[in-house]
Amino acid sequence: MQYEERYFVDSTRQVWNYSLFTDEDIRNFQNGTHYRLYEHFGAHALQVLDKEGYYFAVWAPNATFVSVISDFNEWNNETHPLLVREDRSGIWEGFIPGFPKGVRYKYHIHGFQGVHLDKGDPFATYCELKPYTASITFAPRYEWKDTPWMNTRAAHNALDAAWNVYEVHLASWMRPDKNNEDWYNTYDQLRELLVPYVKDMGFTHVEFMPVMEHPFDGSWGYQGTGYFAPTSRFGSPEQFMALVDAFHAEGIGVILDWVPSHFPYDAHGLFLFDGAHTYEYADMRKGYHPDWSSYVFNYRRGEVKSFLISSAHFWLRRYHVDGLRVDAVSSMLKLNYSREEGEWEPNEYGGDGNLEAIHFIKDLNETIFRDFPDVQTIAEEATDWPKVSRPTYEGGLGFGMKWMMGWMHDTLNYFKTDPLLRSGKQDLFTFSLMYFYDENFMLPLSHDEVVHGKSPMLYKMPGDEWQKSANLRLMYSYMYSHPGAKLLFMGDEFGATTEWNHHSELPWHLLQYPAHRGIQDCVRTLGHLYRSEPAFYERQFQTGGFEWVDLGHRLESVVAYRRKGHRPEDDILVVLNMTPVVRRDWKVITYGKTHWTEIFNSDQAGYWGTGDTYNPLIPVQPLAHDEGLAELTLHLPPLGAVFLK
C-alpha cells in the first residue's frame, strides 16, 4: 500500500515530522468508515531517509502533549515528543529514527485539566507479559502455509456446512503444572496438544475465549486492553499465527471471542485515555456497565467506531481467523440493560434501543461480509430482538448466526428433571422447534453454564452415577441431532465433575474411569457422525431439514423426529427414550424407506451403557391402508438415543 508523506522531514530532530495518513484517511476515521486503521495507528517499522526506525501515531484529542517513553530513552517524558496534526483530528504522530524492534514503550500524555498519564498503545500488536503493562514494538514476519484452507474455507464456513465448535480457554485447557496458575502452555505447545485433540474429537471449529491482551486472568479475557494484540501469556504473535495455521492444516476453523461492548478501567488502558471520556460515553447512564464495573464504548463517535471495526478486520485479515463470536450483544442493543428505572435515558424516539450501537453492529457485519465473505459472525444475544442473524437489507442486524439461549435453558431444565416426571415437561423439549427458523441458531453449552454455582454438566443430570452418565449422553445425542450449529465447552465432552476453574486445568485424570471415557467416546462418535451425515447440517437452518415423527407418547417420554438433507436417502430417524425404562418392540410409523439400519446407540457398552438393548435387524411392516407408510419395530435402550439410516 502506498502512503502519502505529508510533512517535511527534519533529520536534525529526535522525532521526525512524518505521517502515514492521507486527507481521506482522516475523513474516514472521523466518519466511522475507516476499517484498516491498524495500517496507520500504532508503531510501524519504517525506513525514512535511509534510517531504520519506528513511526508512532496515537489519537488523543484532549491532550496538550504526547511523547513516547520507552527503554530506548530510559523512560524520559521529554526527549521524544510527538507532533499533533494541524487538522484538529487529535492525532499525534512522528518517526523516531533508530527506534528498535522488541522495545517496551508507552505514551506519556498531558491530558484534560492537566492530568499526566502513561498509557499503553491502543493499536499495539504485542504487549508485555502481565503484570507489566507496556506495549512492545513488533513487526511479525510469518509465512502462512494455509493457502489450501483459505482457498476452500468458504465451503467449511458456510451456513450449510457442519459446525461442531469446541469452546476453549487456552490457559486452563491444560497446564504444564496444574498447581501453578501462572505457568501456561505456549502457543507452540498448544499446537502440539490441542490441535490433534480437536481433530480426534470430530470438532469442525475451535472457539477461543478472548486471546486479546487483558490484564486480569479472572476476566477470562472479556475485559481487554489490547484490541490488536494476542496475549503474550502464551508467546509471540507469530506463534499464535502458527497455531491458527496448524488448525487450518487439519481442516479446522478458528473462531475468536471478540468484545466490542465494554472495557476495563485499568490505568494503562482505554479508560479516560487522555484525561477525558475519549473512547467511552461521558454520560455514565450509557457509559458505565454495572454488571462488570467496566465502561461502554461511545458508538456515536466515528473515531471509536472506526477503531472497533478495524480491530475486527485486523483479526480476520492478519490472523486468518474464520469467524468472530461477538460477546454481550444484548448489553449493546439495550439502553436499559441491567439498569433500573431512572438509571437510563430513552433514545430520541422514546425507546430503549441504543440506536448508535445498532448502527455500529450493522456496519460491522456489512463490512466483514463484504471484505471476508467466507467467514462468519456469531452473536451472543439472549433477548427476543428480531432478525439478529438476518441480513441488514432485510432489516436485520447482519450476523451470520446467533446463540440459541432459549434452547439451552429449556434443554437443561428438561434434563435436570427426574425422568419419571419428564412427561409433564415435554413442552420444554419441543418448544425450540416453534421458533427455531426465526434465526440461524447455534446451540451453546458454553462456559457460562458450568461456573458460579451452576454445577458441571454431569451433575446437572438426575439419578445415580450410571443414570447421570446415561442422561448426559442422551442430552448430547439430542443436541447433535437437533437442527443448528453446535458449541460445547471444554471438559463437557468427558463429563467433568467440578465446575470450570480458570486457575487450574481440566480434570483430565477422570479419563482413567470407564464412565468418563465412555462419555468422551460417545461425544467423539457424535462429532464424527454429525459431520459425516449431510442430513444433520445441509438444511440445518431450513424448515425442510426437520420433521416430527412421533410426539404422541408424552406419558412414556419417547419422541421421534427425522433430519433431512437434500437427498431423501440421507434422511436420519432419531428416537429418544427419556426414561430408564427399556422399551422393547416399540412401534414407530414413518414413510419413504423399507429398510433402516441403526447407525448410533448411546447405550453402547463402549460408552458405559448397558450394551444389551440395540437393533441389529429392524423389522419394517408396510401399512397397506396408506401407501408409503411403514411401521418399524425397535428396541429402545434406557435413557438412550438411537439414530437410524
The set of catalytic residues is 327, 380
| Nearest in space to 383 (alpha carbons), one of 399, 405, 415, 362 | 405
C-alpha grid cell for residue 20?
502515514
Cα(593)–Cα(620) distance, integer angstroms: 9
66-69 long-range Cβ contacts below 8 angstroms, 24+ apart = 66/92, 66/107, 66/108, 66/109, 66/110, 67/107, 67/108, 68/15, 68/96, 68/99, 68/105, 68/106, 68/107, 68/108, 69/105, 69/106, 69/107, 69/108, 69/118
Cα(558)–Cα(586) distance, integer angstroms: 10
Helix, strand, or coil (residue 161)? coil
Cα(571)–Cα(327) distance, integer angstroms: 35
Q: 554 near 560, Cβ under 8 Å?
A: no
CB atoms under 10 Å from CB of 319, counted, come to 20
Report H helices in 23-169. Answer: 23-31, 147-156
Report H helices in 301-382. Answer: 302-318, 329-333, 355-371
Cα(231)–Cα(199) distance, integer angstroms: 24
**What angle do helix axes 355-371 and 302-318 make, rounded to 10 degrees?**
30
Helix, strand, or coil (residue 496)? coil
Q: 544 near 567, Cβ under 8 Å?
A: no
Cα(428)–Cα(420) distance, integer angstroms: 15
Name residue 456's amino acid.
Answer: P
Helix, strand, or coil (residue 203)? coil
Cα(276)–Cα(251) distance, integer angstroms: 46
Name residue 224's amino acid.
Answer: G
C-alpha grid cell for residue 184?
501456561
Q: 216 near 264, Cβ under 8 Å?
A: yes
Q: What angle do CA 527, 151, 489 make, to 5 degrees?
A: 30
C-alpha grid cell for residue 410?
429449556
End-to-end CA distance of the chain: 55
Cα(159)–Cα(81) distance, integer angstroms: 51
Residues in a beta bridge with 560: 550, 575
Cα(202)–Cα(523) distance, integer angstroms: 9
C-alpha grid cell for residue 93?
504522530
Sole residue written with cell 479516560: 272
**What angle do helix axes 147-156 and 237-249 make, rounded to 10 degrees?**
60
Helix (H) or strand (E) holding 136: strand 135-136
Residues in a beta bridge with 253: 205
Q: 56 near 94, Cβ under 8 Å?
A: yes
